[in-house]
Structure 1
């Protein structure tokens, strides 16, 4: 386990025998051996601990979203999990639920070109649209991350000169909003056995809740103005998504025609 008189990470001398962390790099001194107690402690504090972990961040994001976003932007991040990590975890949950509850069809009937399991003869455009849908399903998390910059740009444009936020800060806000969408999507897939249209409804619910989150974030800015700007931002994002998908379809069709 190394020499207890020095930090095993940076080599700095341990001057106080009661010292538990290196003041230079934060490494535990001495480092703990990996055993069952260590693994249980790591699980509790990194995932399950309600003062600092995934459950805490998700709870705050779903109950007090605007306050959580504002705290993160202002630098109060000690209790929060990074939004990118939340995105990857919730995206994995969506993919896992879709595999066992929807046959791997994450997007379902919302996919461009309609349902992927239709047996009806398809035109070249429909076939291409379905192939794009298959790709979006197969690389769902990557596709979602690719859309984040466009969503952030849409909101920055719609909230121009409000809050003084830069583009990277809007990327963080957009990441939190995407996590909300994944949470609602996961709940919808659990309910779709009894409510077949639940995934489609989850899009509407997550959009409205995202607008509510933005209204809460920008207080004391006029709520009705935040409401209109939030709806405008989502409208711009949905429009840009349709353009992106149409461009993908056009590129695939042009490539196929050139072969």
Structure 2
């Protein structure tokens, strides 16, 4: 009876029933419990670490292989970005203390005494990974526009950007957060490290897209990444202007703090 599916009765020739997908019968033992706990509680099931390892090696190649169909060993890219963002947010808030760093910098620097700007800056700093995750559909639209003749649809660009977000978050976790933690008693220096990611991000994108589009010239990839940042720069300046206008409208006294 062990070769018959206990769900539908069909004969199982591999590890799963070809009719209903149920896994072949296996007696519950210690190994079974450990594997179920790993999958249910951590939901890694080896794919999480496998994907992280391959992203560290070559994120663009990893994304390309996934999109081209090599998916069985990989963690789902959007879920991977979500899990990594959760880990990143926990480290940023509970271990590194970015919120407190931002608060001390604001008070000691005496640059902004506006509750609105303080809360806005602290929120952006503490939850940048979650915000970036929510922006994946937008960035997919942007990269689809910039790489529109290179043969991938919008939804494939969503997957690409999920891998990019994962790569970006891993960089924060293993490189940037340890540096910030070491200098957390110097809020200005800590925030300098935090903002340095904007200088490193173009290199991460060039590395990613060169691995993804291995047959394309590096100069062509660099020009498209530059165009992407030009568009983002214009949008970012517009956002900053909007935030400043809102801040001044809600707190007219903030303008009096300028020496």
Which of 70, 74, 80 is matched with 1:76 structurally? 70
The TM-score, its normalising length taken from structure 2, stands at 0.75
Higher RCO (C-alpha 8 Å, min separation 6): 2
Structure 1: distance between partners of 2:204 and 2:241: 27
Structure 2: distance between partners of 1:220 and 1:67: 12
CA contact (8 A) 2:133 2:165 kept: no
Structure 2: distance between partners of 1:247 and 1:102: 30
Higher helix share: 2
Structure 1: distance between partners of 2:244 and 2:159: 29
The TM-score, its normalising length taken from structure 1, stands at 0.75
Structure 1: distance between partners of 2:14 and 2:109: 68
Alignment of 1:1-259 (within 5 A): 7=5, 11-15=7-11, 20-30=15-25, 33=28, 36-42=30-36, 43=38, 47=44, 49=46, 53-105=47-99, 115-118=105-108, 120=110, 122=112, 126-136=114-124, 140-161=128-149, 163-186=150-173, 187-194=175-182, 196=190, 197-244=192-239, 246-247=241-242
> Could you say if the C-alpha distance between residues 57 and 121 of structure 1 is closer, same or farther in structure 2, counting changes exceeding 3 Å?
closer
SS in 1 for 2:44: helix
Q: What whole-Å deviation, never above 9, does each CA across 1:141-184 have from its counterpart, x for those lacking one?
A: 542222212222222222221x2111111111111111111111
The alignment of Structure 1 onto Structure 2 pairs a total of residues equal to 241
Q: What whole-Å deviation, never above 9, does each CA across 1:59-96 have from its counterpart, x for those lacking one?
A: 21121222111111111111211111211221122112
Query: Structure 1: which 5+ runs fail to align?
Result: none
